[in-house]
Structure 1
Amino acid sequence: MDAGTVRTRVIVRGMVQGVGFRANTRAEAGRLALTGFARNRPDGSVEVEAEGPAAGVGELLRWLRTGPRWAEVSSIEVTELEPTGDSGFRLG
């Protein structure tokens, strides 16, 4: 893996389920050439892990603060992780 590769876990809270949040996150991650996943959590939040160049992950983090048009993000919690060499971006 490239030295500039980072991985971040983000818990997104608010009205983020049932509004296309995961699918739009996958599209945004694809645009930024990031790998990882987005999945709904039982508490109503969405968990996102994104891996790739630091600039791309940073851009996704900015996007996650608002999300898609119908979402209402109240907060995000960001945790830095070790890159895993993931491929693709999946929905869970």
Structure 2
Amino acid sequence: MQQGAVMVACVRCLIDGRVQGVWFRASTRERAMELGVRGWVRNLPDGRVEALLQGEAEAVEALKQWLWQGPALAEVVDIQCETVAVSEIQTFEVR
């Protein structure tokens, strides 16, 4: 989707590995805020983390790449992302 001359991307990612109990959600929010990405991040009952990332395409891509690293104690083994419809999101929150 395009807003003005800026390409806006919106993706939903499922992050698998040691990603709960290692400050993954808080670190993701911090990085998202630095990049100007909006959306949310939450733990799933199966041990994965789910994130919705929305913003300028370059910033969203940068955050997707950062997810592979995560915070120091995280061990990411897989990330699956899919493009989803852009919605009205104003900030980035931990759910």
Bigger drift between 49-58 and 79-88 goes to 79-88
Unaligned regions of 5+ residues in structure 2, if any? none
Give the corresponding residue for 1:34: 37
Pick from 16, 22, 32: which aligns with 2:19?
Answer: 16
Unaligned regions of 5+ residues in structure 1, if any? none
Superposed, 1:53-64 pairs within 5 Å as 53-64=56-67
Q: State the aligned residue count.
A: 92
1:50 and 1:14 map into 2 onto residues whose CA distance is: 19
TM-score by length of structure 1 reads: 0.96
TM-score by length of structure 2 reads: 0.93
Moved over 3 A (4+): none
Using the aligned pairs only, state the percent identity. Answer: 37
Give the corresponding residue for 1:69: 72
